[in-house]
Amino acid sequence: MELDHPFLGHALNAVDAKGRVSVPAEFRGLIETRCRIYALPGDPVNDKELRIGLHEDGDRLQALDAIASRQLTQDLRESVSDMPAAERRKALRAMQSDELGTLSVVSFDGAGRMVLPPMLRDFAGIEDLALFWGVGDQFEIWNPRAARDAFKDSKRKLMTLDYLLKERGVRL
């Protein structure tokens, strides 16, 4: 199911020594909207929580709100629906272990402040700056240097990143 209200845009936010960083205000507002619109009756969702894990490419973090997490779980089930039962259960467990078992639940306060766990910061190489990048049903959190390398074939992405860095007086 394709949901309206995708994560769009970008932000470059400071990360302090304890790993505290603010989720961009636009993303926080969108999380609240998505949770309000797409919550199932009798199944409340927390609009101050993210599920964050290492992206499958290993160069950034992926962040899912409760709605994207629920959709991912449904997509995993559907991806094996045509398999025989025993094979389906085994394949589903393996995918859920990889996709869901590696996510960490991270809460943020009303001002959007959250603490990125040390393991996640280490995996993504996030130090004093975090680049937030909207990618539809979720958003990514990058070390700007890694993003610069990954964005090398996209002039628009590079220009956007370079502008954000310039605003902060940072040169990579």
Tens-place pLDDT, residues 22-34: 999 999 999 999 9
Confidence of residue 143 (pLDDT cuts 50, 70, 90): very high
* pLDDT, tens only, 42-96: 877 899 999 999 999 999 999 999 998 888 777 767 777 788 888 878 766 766 6
Percent of the chain scored above 90 by pLDDT? 69
Query: What pLDDT is recorded for position 1?
Result: 45
d(Cα 143, Cα 148) in Å, to the nearest integer? 9
User: What global pTM score does this model have?
Assistant: 0.88
140, 55 contact by CB (below 8 A): yes
Q: What is the pLDDT of residue 125?
A: 98
For the segment(s) 10-167, the CATH number from 2.20.25.90, 3.40.1550.20, 3.40.50.12500, 3.20.20.70 is 3.40.1550.20
Tokens for 39, please give them.
């919550």
Cα torsion through 111, 62, 7, 147, rounded to 10: 100
Are 25 and 86 in contact by the 8 Å Cβ rule? The answer is: no
